[in-house]
Amino acid sequence: MGAYPMTAAARLPRWTPHRRNILLTYLFFAYFSIVFQGILYAGGITGIVGLKYSLIYSLLWLLVPLWLPSLTRAWMWGVGLILWACSLVKLGYLSIYGQELSQSVFFTIFETNLMEGTEFFEMYFRWWMIPLLILYTLPPLWILKHVKPMPPSRRAKRWITALVAVSFMEPILVHANLHNEGAAGILDPGARKIVSRISAVTPWQLVVGYSQYRTQLHNVEKLLASVGGRDEVLARVSLADRERRQTYVLVIGESTDRQRMGLYGYYRDTTPELSRMRDELFVFDDVITPRPFTIEALWQALTLADQQRIDWLYDKPNIITLMKSVGFRVTWITNQQTATERNTLLTALSKLADEQVYLNNQRRQSARQLDSVVLDPFRKALDAPAEKKFIIVHLLGTHSKYQYRYPEDYARFDGSDDTPVKLTAYQAGIYNSYDNAILYHDHVLASIIDAYKATDPYGVLMYFSDHGEEVYDFRDFQGRNEADPSTYMYTVPFIIAPSRRWAEARGVGDWDAYEGRPYSTESVIHTWCDLAALRFEMCDAGKSLVSPQFTYGPRLIGDPYKPSSLRDYNEVLGPGASGRKLLSQGEPRGSGPPPASTLN
């Protein structure tokens, strides 16, 4: 009897219930990583490497079903809920900002309380997210319904366990530093490579991000423990100005874009009080922030670290320790929620001051906590008996939600007839509330300057904002996105108000010519050394905005923890470099509203 020819179907491997069960279980765990990485790859946001490591390291979750099959369903439900929740964080960020989570975003996440997170969700929530969430959740639920606990074959257990072991051992064996003494030194390069690879897999990216955040906090704690103002480095700091009584003030704003300030040529008069005292101020019109995030921007502005020397954050002096080392009493006054006694990076920095005044104990940003609360503590600090005083005032500024940053009588801008782009009613409401917030911010800042000058001090008041904010300025977007930047996120106001006696003694005659200098707030501490007459070998006059020795150089933006991402601001967002702005640097909008265009 002749043999029947073998069909193509007969040649395919037999999908036994055991094999089908293992495959479904694997797909369940891999789903939460490969969907995200697949979207990134398909959109050209990242290469295929993340997708590859998602497929490999998702095998790790199979070990429990392989060796303890009776726990399969409980394991899948428990781990699955964690993977589902963590993947939603990444997918939500991707849907809003069109990029993968960065280290800076993790710092923001872990510095945010539940109420702040709820308000962020309310701000960016769109109705279409609900059906997408349901569609995203259906496949893993279907798999859970069809997977049945059953013992796998010995062969499957051996092969999959071996693959998991190889995926973890290969980086250690290949990248081990065999010339380094000690086990830790040998294994460390391989361990870092594993961390880098597994970060593509949910939920390890969040775990790694949290670990990095805790490392930063630990470094801050070491800073607090080690800095007493008397170590041998700070002993080399001296004060060149011999005036007996001196008072210096640093005012830090929040989320304020100078392009929306009348003082800088905005078509709406959002800064009438600062404009009134314009002749008493030096207003610098080409200053940017290196990062569009509060913590990262201020840690560079207030320390000797910068985009190329970010490791100087913790082992070099900062603005507080420098001032304390030459006899100044430092007071930190803040209306920021990050200072509600939580263990945050900025709160830790404030602990270096001699006195801290924490004014914002609200748990919701939507509470109407106005910056006027800083005025009485500021006046009290000005009246303190110390001969040399340094006062830092950290405002809530124009932080979203903008409508909670000003009282009702400052709601002067409304409608959309005069907006530079065509806005929906919803967008116009936010656009106008941002301008109203700047209007009230103008009032608070002018009040601080007036209170300072009323004491007839000897010193300088400096003001700048941590970063800017894009608020429907030319496209349908509100907020900040380092991967898709615009000028509005980076352009910040920078103002110096010298006291009368200080200006006469030190001379400011040439400063008008300095107001157009291109500058980054990463170098603020060098300008501060110049203003306060601090003499220290690490203070660089070439980086002082008001020094005759000022040297022009590239202003780097991007993530310093990823050096390849650093770019010169002028090349990315300078005049003619990008269409992501309405204005070229320093170009005013004029006295009337510009012609309307449609958001893209």
Section 565-572 average pLDDT: 93
User: Per the domain annotation, does 228 fall within a domain?
Assistant: no
pLDDT at 38: 86
Q: What is the pLDDT of residues 249-296, one digit of tens each?
A: 999 999 999 999 999 999 999 999 999 999 999 999 999 999 999 988
174 and 266 housed in the same domain: no
199 and 275 housed in the same domain: no
Structural domain total, the chain: 2
pLDDT at 594: 38
163 and 261 housed in the same domain: no
**DSSP sequence for 216-227:** HHHHHHHHHHH-
Question: How far is residue 541's CA from residue 242's CA, in Å, rounded to a whole number?
Answer: 20
Check whether 363 has a pLDDT greater than 70.
no
Confidence of residue 556 (pLDDT cuts 50, 70, 90): very high
What is the reported pTM? 0.70
Planar angle of CA 313, 314, 319, nearest 5 degrees: 70
261 and 156 housed in the same domain: no
Section 197-222 average pLDDT: 74
- CB–CB of 582/594 below 8 Å? yes
Q: Which of 317, 158, 347 is nearest to 229 (CA)?
A: 317
Question: How far is residue 469's CA from residue 479's CA, in Å, rounded to a whole number?
Answer: 6
Confidence of residue 355 (pLDDT cuts 50, 70, 90): very high
Instruction: Give strand pairing partners of 246.
Output: 388
Q: What is the pLDDT of residues 394-403, one digit of tens each?
A: 999 999 889 9
User: Among 188, 213, 238, where does a domain finish?
Assistant: 213
375 and 322 housed in the same domain: yes
User: Per the domain annotation, does 8 fall within a domain?
Assistant: no
Strands (E), 279-398: 282-284, 287-288, 329-334, 355-358, 388-394
146 and 24 housed in the same domain: yes
Check whether 228 has a pLDDT greater than 70.
no
204 and 258 housed in the same domain: no
Question: How far is residue 434's CA from residue 443's CA, in Å, rounded to a whole number?
Answer: 14
User: Per the domain annotation, does 197 fall within a domain?
Assistant: yes
Q: How far does Cα 539 stand from its chain's mean position?
A: 26
Q: Which domain holds residue 513?
A: 246-573
Check whether 587 has a pLDDT greater than 70.
no
Q: Which of 489, 393, 400 is nearest to 449 (CA)?
A: 393
Q: What is the pLDDT of residues 433-491, one digit of tens each?
A: 999 999 999 999 999 999 999 999 999 999 999 999 999 999 999 999 888 899 999 99
Weakest mean pLDDT among 99-113, 301-315, 327-341, 511-525:
99-113
Confidence of residue 207 (pLDDT cuts 50, 70, 90): confident
pLDDT at 110: 61
**Tokens 């726990």 belong to which residue?**
71
User: Per the domain annotation, does 278 fall within a domain?
Assistant: yes
Confidence of residue 187 (pLDDT cuts 50, 70, 90): very low
CATH of the domain at 525: 3.40.720.10
Confidence of residue 361 (pLDDT cuts 50, 70, 90): low
pLDDT at 537: 93
Section 160-177 average pLDDT: 73
pLDDT at 418: 85
> Which is higher by pLDDT, 224 or 506?
506
346 and 289 housed in the same domain: yes
206 and 352 housed in the same domain: no
pLDDT at 241: 94
Instruction: Give strand pairing partners of 496.
Output: 282, 462
Section 502-515 average pLDDT: 93
User: Among 213, 230, 254, where does a domain finish?
Assistant: 213
User: Among 198, 213, 228, where does a domain finish?
Assistant: 213
Residue 397 falls in which region: left (phi positive, over 0), alpha (psi -120 to 50) or beta? left
User: Per the domain annotation, does 496 fall within a domain?
Assistant: yes
Weakest mean pLDDT among 88-102, 199-213, 232-246, 484-498:
88-102
Confidence of residue 107 (pLDDT cuts 50, 70, 90): low
Residue 163 falls in which region: left (phi positive, over 0), alpha (psi -120 to 50) or beta? alpha
> Which is higher by pLDDT, 481 or 583?
481
Question: How far is residue 331's CA from residue 345's CA, in Å, rounded to a whole number?
Answer: 17
Q: What is the pLDDT of residues 285-329, one digit of tens each?
A: 999 999 999 988 998 999 999 999 988 887 788 999 999 999 999
345 and 295 housed in the same domain: yes
pLDDT at 339: 37
Q: 28: which 2 tokens?
A: 């369940």
User: Per the domain annotation, does 241 fall within a domain?
Assistant: no
User: Per the domain annotation, does 73 fall within a domain?
Assistant: yes
Q: What is the pLDDT of residues 19-49, one digit of tens each?
A: 888 889 999 999 998 888 888 878 776 678 8
Taking all residues of the chain, what is their mean pLDDT, rounded to a whole number?
A: 83
The share of the chain scoring above pLDDT 70, in percent, equals 78
Confidence of residue 14 (pLDDT cuts 50, 70, 90): low
Confidence of residue 345 (pLDDT cuts 50, 70, 90): low
Parallel, antiparallel, or unpaired for β 355-358 and 329-334?
parallel
Return the top range by mean pLDDT from 105-119, 121-135, 553-567. Answer: 553-567
369 and 426 housed in the same domain: yes
288 and 189 housed in the same domain: no
User: Per the domain annotation, does 580 fall within a domain?
Assistant: no
Instruction: Give strand pairing partners of 265.
Output: none
